[in-house]
Amino acid sequence: MYQIINLAVFTLLIALLIKQQRTDSTLSKRVFTGLILGVLFGASLQWLYHPQTPVVSDTLEYINIVGAGYISLLKMIVMPLIMVSIIGAIIKVKDSSSLGKISFLTIGVLLATTAVSALIGIMITNLFGLTADGIVEGAREIARGEALQTRLGSIANVSFADMIISFFPSNPFADLAGTRPTSTIAVVIFSAFVGMAGLTVIKTNPELGASFEKFVNVTQEIVRTLVRMVLSLTPYGVMALMAKVVAGSNYNDILSLLNFVIASYVGLGLILVLHLVLVSFVGVNPLRFFQKILPVLTFAFTSRSSAGTIPLNIDAQVKSLGNGDAVSNFSASFGATMGQNGCAGLYPAMLAVMIAPTVGINPLDPSFMISLIAIVTVSSFGIAGIGGGATFAALIVLSTLGMPVALAGLLISIEPLIDMGRTAVNVSGSMTAGTITSRILGLNKTSEIDKGKQPNVIDTHA
């Protein structure tokens, strides 16, 4: 009876979101409404029942259909979106020399900011005195740690050279299906080859090239329409995911790890400041820049998906920042697959520094810091821009350093709280890379940010 009542209330909340959607409300507002409703519903389950009672677990099992289904749909669109975005970006460049410059600068900025993000993670962790000692292990955390230890077996014996080799797509169709941990970067490389081949056809056979270009444009529009369809479900997915997190969380565990949450957001805030300082060096007003990207960061924060934010990312870069189609597509796509400042930069570095004293390593030793920054930067290639990417990045870094990986499992209680901020920083990093690249190469167009206009909220309607 209680379970039926709980599910009936959740259904009413879904109906409320549907009604809000029909009033022509913006997607950002609907996502925040879903976030708030999910938190309130989850907190109500915590207050009415004990979190471990069958009523709560059975209720969450059905609610998870919405949340897990939404995550699966996000994963579904990642590979096609990245592939068509990169091919389309290359086709738009036309000039091979410009293509090389755009790729080099964009990837260079992404990796450089990831390296600095790792350094920020090292400093923040030491400043807050965070350590792996004394973290309480609950049943869920132990189970997660054991699962990560098992997952580690698949990458533990992989050398640095093997990891580089794994980036190359031996079977692009298998990589499109995500069969390997490095499938994302393999799809990026395959897409780049397809785009360059298409560019050659356009030059050598204009008639066939025009047909190929039209095919790419049509495919891009179809995939972007598909993405908009999935993104329109974000409020429902966010509500279900937040309800599950809040209702199933142990608040004592969260409070015991509160210092890590605070330290993480201080680090993320410093990375955002870094992005604003960098764009100011290329003549962009940092305050106007932040105003322009804020709606995109808001969506990234609530959806926790860098890949799912690619369409809004590109749209904001082209219309608000004036970065041009090619640079915007490149930076948004690359930023969702490599050099993620939050997930692949800050987070693994913080975990490594926390674990270092427990295995006899001085976290402030210069040689350790240099090694850690280098490993974090290289490991940031191919980290998928969806939930779980940060955990995989941490696995690679910790295993390469020969450190135990169980700590990533011990942080399960607070993972969603930090992941929202990390995702927003990832997206900010990609937009920063696009802005710097377009300004340095002189490819930027007159935009609202150059005219000094007030920002328009990027809107996506279902």
Domain ranges (residues) in the chain: 2-451
What 3-state class would DSSP assign to 266? Answer: helix
DSSP 134: T
What 3-state class would DSSP assign to 328? Answer: helix
The label of the residue with tokens 């393999």 reads: 186
**What's the average model confidence in pLDDT over 333-345?**
84
What residues contact 69, with CB distance under 8 A and at least 6 apart?
A: 237
Token pair listed for 417: 């709280």
CB contact at 8 A, 152 and 404: no
CA angle centred on 184, ends 180 and 189, rounded to 5°: 115
pLDDT at 218: 93
Domain 2-451, CATH number (from 1.10.3860.10, 3.40.50.2300, 1.20.120.80, 2.60.40.10)? 1.10.3860.10
Please tell me the distance from the alpha carbon of residue 88 to that of residue 85, in angstroms, as a whole number.
5
Please tell me the distance from the alpha carbon of residue 270 to that of residue 99, in angstroms, as a whole number.
31
Token pair listed for 425: 């920083």
Q: Please state the pTM of the whole predicted model.
A: 0.78
CB contact at 8 A, 319 and 448: yes
Token pair listed for 381: 């290639």
Nearest to 117 by CA among 336, 218, 268, 222: 268
Under the banding of pLDDT at 50, 70 and 90, the label for residue 309 is confident
pLDDT tens digits for 452-462?
A: 554 444 444 33
pLDDT tens digits for 161-202?
A: 766 777 788 888 888 877 776 777 788 889 889 988 998 898
Q: 57 pLDDT exceeds 60?
A: yes
What residues contact 283, with CB distance under 8 A and at least 6 apart?
A: 439
